[in-house]
Structure 1
Amino acid sequence: MARQLDEQLVGHFPVGRRLRVLDVGMGRGTQALRLARSGHQVTGLERDAERVATARATLAGEPEGIRERVRVVEGDGRDTGVHFLPGSFDVVLCHGVLMYVAEPDPLVAGLARMLAPGGLLSLLVRNGDAPAMRSGLRGDWARALAAFDTPCHADGSGPEVRADRLTNLTATLAGLGAPLHTWYGVRVFTDTAVDGARVAHTLGCPDDLATLLAVEERAGRTDPYRGVASLLHLCGVRG
């Protein structure tokens, strides 16, 4: 996903431009720090106090120049209008958040309002067109069958979360004046892979990891594979 985002930033903005980035639901700050290290000014919004503390602790270990480029705000992503003025950011990220929101449209509308003209909105969501895929590949036929008729995603490995369909979000973004520019699949083949603690052992060497990433990156931009990815990465542009 980071490679996909970088591709959009490079293709959409002049080389060397320092961007104003809002990361809604920043988690522990991985993406915010990565962009700050690239020279961008990043504001992270996160409601979970533990994750805020982790992000701030990680940020404290960075060089002063990077610390100066990151601002961490504790708050809910649905209240962007309380914290920021409309049009304040060149890039707005909202990764892995919509799946936990019962009514996503107001949140997406708030995110779009934060974009300056020509700004980029990056959403990472559960793919509502493929909720049965993971259970089916694991041989959990009852759960796979039930998944065809629900907008939620549940595979027994964690809490049930809501999924979004590409067609619905495409219509939503168009109606908000930030129409879909491009989209990718994320976790096409690796969604059923062993967890991170075992991946390194299973892959055996960095060359295997590089090949895995190359396959995922190619599949994430290629039909029909991207359409059945566990997650979708959508990029809209404010008109």
Structure 2
Amino acid sequence: MARQLDEQIAGRFAVGRRLRVLDVGMGQGTQALRLARAGHQVTGVERDATMIAAAREALAGQPEGIRERMRIVEGDGRDTGVHFLPGSFDVVLCHGVLMYVEEPDPLLAGLARMLAPGGLLSLVVRNGDALALRPGLHGDWTGALGAFDTVNYRNRLGLDVRADRLATLTAKLAGIGAPLHTWYGVRVFTDTAPDGAPVPDDLEALLAAEERAGRTDPYRAVAALLHLCGVRG
């Protein structure tokens, strides 16, 4: 996802431009910190105290210049209008968040309002059109059959969450003024790998295969995750 995001940023903004980035649901701040290291002004929003503590610890170990470029805000992604003015950011990230939001429409509309004209909205969501694949590949035929007609599923943490379908999100992005520009598949071949699996010896080949599949039809359509990039009109 980092390579895909960098590709979209490079294609939309002048080289060397310091972008204003908002990372909603930043988690431990991995992506936010990476962008701050690249020279951008980054604001991370997170409500989980454990994640915030981890992000602050990671940030504390960075050089002063990077620390000055990153701000951490404790809050809910649905309250962006409380913290920021409309059009305040060139790039807005919301990665791995929508699956935990029962009604995502207000959140999406709020994210779009944060974008300056021409700004980039980057979403990473669970692929609702491929929910049957994981149970099917594990031989869970009952689970696979039950996954075809729903966007609800239980994740690896045991939480009941939801997925999004590409067509539905495409329509929603158009409706909030940040129409879909491009999209990628994420975890086409590796979704069934167990947590904590050792790094394979052929990691570079694996990553190359994933990267190629995530850009290529029909493979990207059955990826576990979708990375969607919308652009504010």
Matching of residue 79 in structure 1 with residue 79 in structure 2: yes
Q: Distance in 2 between matches of 1:58 and 1:155?
A: 27
Q: CA deviation at 1:155?
A: 5.9
Distance 1:230 1:39, change over 3 A: same
Q: Distance in 2 between matches of 1:71 and 1:47?
A: 14
Partner in structure 1 of residue 214 of structure 2 = 220
Q: Quick check: 1:135–1:155 contact (8 Å CA) kept in 2?
A: no
Cα offsets for 1:41-61 (capped at 9, x unmatched): 000000001100110011000
Partner in structure 1 of residue 58 of structure 2 = 58
Q: Distance in 1 between matches of 2:86 and 2:124?
A: 22
Cα offsets for 1:93-142 (capped at 9, x unmatched): 00000000001111000000000000000000010111101010111111
5+ residue gaps, structure 1, are: none
Distance 1:17 1:155, change over 3 A: closer
Q: Quick check: 1:20–1:42 contact (8 Å CA) kept in 2?
A: yes
Q: Quick check: 2:155–2:161 contact (8 Å CA) kept in 1?
A: no
Letter aligned with residue 33 of structure 1: L
Q: Quick check: 2:99–2:162 contact (8 Å CA) kept in 1?
A: yes
CA RMSD, 1 decimal: 1.0
Q: Distance in 2 between matches of 1:9 and 1:24?
A: 17
Q: Distance in 2 between matches of 1:153 and 1:87?
A: 34
Partner in structure 1 of residue 186 of structure 2 = 186
Q: CA deviation at 1:151?
A: 1.1
Letter aligned with residue 232 of structure 1: L
Q: Distance in 2 between matches of 1:155 and 1:86?
A: 34
Number of residue pairs matched by the alignment: 233
Letter aligned with residue 205 of structure 2: T
Q: Distance in 1 between matches of 2:155 and 2:58?
A: 32
Q: For 1:56-205, list aligned pairs within 5 A.
A: 56-154=56-154, 158-195=158-195, 197-200=196-199, 203=200, 205=201
Q: Quick check: 1:187–1:230 contact (8 Å CA) kept in 2?
A: yes
Q: CA deviation at 1:149?
A: 1.6
5+ residue gaps, structure 2, are: none
TM-score with structure 2 length normalisation?
0.98
Q: CA deviation at 1:154?
A: 2.6
Q: Distance in 2 between matches of 1:157 and 1:42?
A: 29
Q: Quick check: 1:121–1:237 contact (8 Å CA) kept in 2?
A: yes
Q: CA deviation at 1:32?
A: 0.3
Q: Match of 2:71, SS?
A: strand
Q: CA deviation at 1:160?
A: 2.2
Q: Distance in 2 between matches of 1:145 and 1:226?
A: 21
Q: Distance in 1 between matches of 2:75 and 2:194?
A: 34
Q: CA deviation at 1:169?
A: 0.5
Q: Quick check: 1:187–1:216 contact (8 Å CA) kept in 2?
A: yes
Q: CA deviation at 1:147?
A: 0.7
Instruction: Name the % identity.
Output: 78
TM-score with structure 1 length normalisation?
0.95
Q: Distance in 2 between matches of 1:93 and 1:40?
A: 13
User: Which aligned runs of 4 or more in structure 1 are off by greater than 3 angstroms?
Assistant: none
Partner in structure 1 of residue 230 of structure 2 = 236
